[in-house]
Amino acid sequence: MPSSQVVLVIVLVLLIATNLPRRGRATSYRDADHKGVVVYWRPGCRYCMRLRTQLRFTRLRHSEVNIWKDPDAAAFVRSVADGNETVPTVTVAGEAMVNPSRSRLFEAVRKHAPHLMPGAGRSTGT
């Protein structure tokens, strides 16, 4: 198989994988932990795919809500994004951010919900 076809297959697999809700993370607006991290997304959004893929390589506990399947979530996103359904929109302990970078998201977690940081609460063994 030529290398261009291999790259195409990898890209397609990533597109499919990042559009699927992560097991145990998918939820609705009503059931999401609004004191934690909630990622509002929609299928096909490349910015959502990028952020969700980056989060899959961390141990940050978070919920994911597909705004196309949840009218309450879509309404919430519009309420914090100037009437638009701009995604990804992320809340950290109730503080909303529209299309944050991974570093901005982790900065907000450190500030508003440090107990959710990967490794928080672990004993160091010393």
Give per-residue pLDDT as tens, 46-66: 999 999 989 988 888 899 999
Task: Output the pLDDT for position 59.
Answer: 84
Separation between Cα atoms, residue 47 and residue 105, nearest integer Å: 14
What tokens were used for 68? 């196309």
The two three-digit tokens of residue 105, written as one number: 């998201």
The tens digit of pLDDT for each residue in 88-107 reads 999 999 999 999 999 999 99
Class of domain 3-116: alpha beta
Q: What is the pLDDT of residue 41?
A: 95
Instruction: State residue 3's pLDDT score.
Output: 83
Residue 39 above 80 pLDDT?
Answer: yes
